[in-house]
Amino acid sequence: MRASRSKGIVLLFPSLLLALFLGACFPCLAENTVSSAPAVRPNILLLVAEDMSSRVGAFGDLVARTPNLDRLAREGTRYTQTFTTAGVCAPSRASLLTGMHAISMGGQHMRSSTRPEGSYRAVPPPEVKAFPELLRRAGYYTVTDSKLDYQFSGTFSGSGPTTLWSAEGSDPDWLASAELEQPFFALINFQVTHETGIFTPLGNGWPNSLMHLVVQFGRAWLLGIPEAESPVRSADVKIPPYYADTPLARADIARHYNNIYQMDREVGAILDALEESGLSDSTIVIWTTDHGDGLPRAKRELYDSGLRVPMIVRWPDRWRPEGSPAGAIDSRLVSFVDLAPTILAWGGQPPARYMQGRKFSGPKTEIRKYVFASRDRIDKFSDRERAVRDREYKYIRSWYPEKATGHRLAFRDNLEMMIELWELLESGELNAEQRTWFEPTGSERLYHLPSDPFELHNLVGEQEYAAELDRLRQAYEGFRERVPDWSEETEAAMVDRMWPGGEQPRTAPPLIESKGGWLTLRPVDPHTSVAYRVGDGRERLYTTPFLLTSGSSITARSVRYGYHESQEVSWTAP
């Protein structure tokens, strides 16, 4: 009975979230039909599934059951060569939000808020602002759900800079925080596909650890995520050659497919709500995932199984770029750092100068020759790897050549197939391809992707590929010159530089200046953002001086990413 109730909650939540949001942002829509007059700027809806590679029917996966994503693909454009900048969530999301590689702003380790030696927050250069804040400055109403995880925030809502979002959380105060006639940007996450969803559900046997018990309890009771329905059977799945083909491996991969099926239903509910609200014709929809599959040798890795993700963009006709008809396939290389400047361009804003990505949609787009990615500390496991990929080759450099990336990891070791892989390794039952992940990486790896899509055969040392190896080495060195790498110093040194003495700095409060009834909120640091509230009204992001009537009061505070927010200051108009 509980599972049935949870299932309804999960399926309805995204559509309710969107419907509440639309009704609050545009109260006229709650009572009347949408005006046929075109909006000046589009609404933008970014849908992000967790821990998922291209297991979508429209991307050629014949096992996947994804009718809603397939419909979205028929109506939009599939980007088939999209890559995250890291194979794990927090660094990847840091890049998504800022348009910068996480290695260049202190967000490269997994993760800052759960570091074993002591938590911290990444402190990007002071001028860096996440693109939702830039959209908010430009007049967009920005909203997200309970998942943050940007490295300069904690994992969940309420833990990160308050200037990014007009509203955040699973149940934000929509009605109190909306303005009429604002375009919206919304980021909605789908946690049903997270790696924890592949852990054996509670009630199907003893938990493998206390962590297993806690995360499954959280999914089932706190987040209301049910065990997915099962249209995909174990016998249906295809096993890549780096796994042993066993019933346990098949069961875990089938469970992942069925979680994807549940996510697809949630996407369908959102698309239906958008259509029923009359906003499909004014909303750009992007669907993607935060990195590859939450499976061994995928998540946390620099292989394509960890970095390559599906992406679909659906434009209303009035904003559809030339050369992107419905159902189009775009095979250009796209990096996650490209999303921020692209979304800003859709909102009529230029990219920030610090952004390292380039827009992939619209006029004057540049074609990428390479994408770049990084791997650093993973939980308790210290590491440093960098990857360069073009359309044919992948180059990976390791600073710890004696280490294997198939290592013990308390979180991942709760997967039944991971437990079995360790047992098969110890008993000598894995073949050479399956053992590779558990062996030292060496200092360099080179893969020819058309002939070796699973990246199993390292070509370093083969004379036939010496020129390609040298070319990709040079590509990496060029990237290294352009993009600062904060892992040139130890994590401890980096943290001490950002938080001297291990203490989180506090932002200085803003100055409130009044002239002729007009208020200016001036941060001590010119790059610091200021949030303010007039009386008991909603919190706003300060952009320009404003008029405050006699007797009205204001409270304000300054915000810098990674710092404590400042103490509030108050002022009452005479």
User: Of 52, 56, 89, 355, which residue is the catalytic one?
Assistant: 89
Exposed/middle/buried for residue 36 (C-beta within 10 Å: 0-12, 13-18, 19+): exposed
Q: What is the number of other CB atoms lying within 10 angstroms of the CB of residue 52?
A: 28
Catalytic-residue membership of 89: yes
- Could you list the beta-strand ranges (E) of 455-560: 511-515, 518-522, 529-534, 540-541, 546-547, 553-559
Residues 6+ apart with CB under 8 A from 223: 191
CA 333, CA 101: separation in Å to the nearest integer?
16
CA 436, CA 432: separation in Å to the nearest integer?
6
Cα Rg of the chain (Å, integer): 24
Distances (CA, A) of 295 to 411, 414, 557: 11, 11, 43
**Helix (H) or strand (E) segment spanning residue 24:** helix 2-25
Q: Are strands 43-49 and 184-190 parallel, antiparallel or unpaired?
A: parallel
CA 147, CA 407: separation in Å to the nearest integer?
28
**Helix (H) or strand (E) segment spanning residue 307:** helix 304-307
Residues 6+ apart with CB under 8 A from 60: 54
Structure tokens at 100: 């910068």
Q: What is the number of other CB atoms lying within 10 angstroms of the CB of residue 10?
A: 23
Q: In what order do the strands lie in the sheet with 511-515?
A: 511-515, 518-522, 546-547
Q: What are the residue numbers of the active site?
A: 89
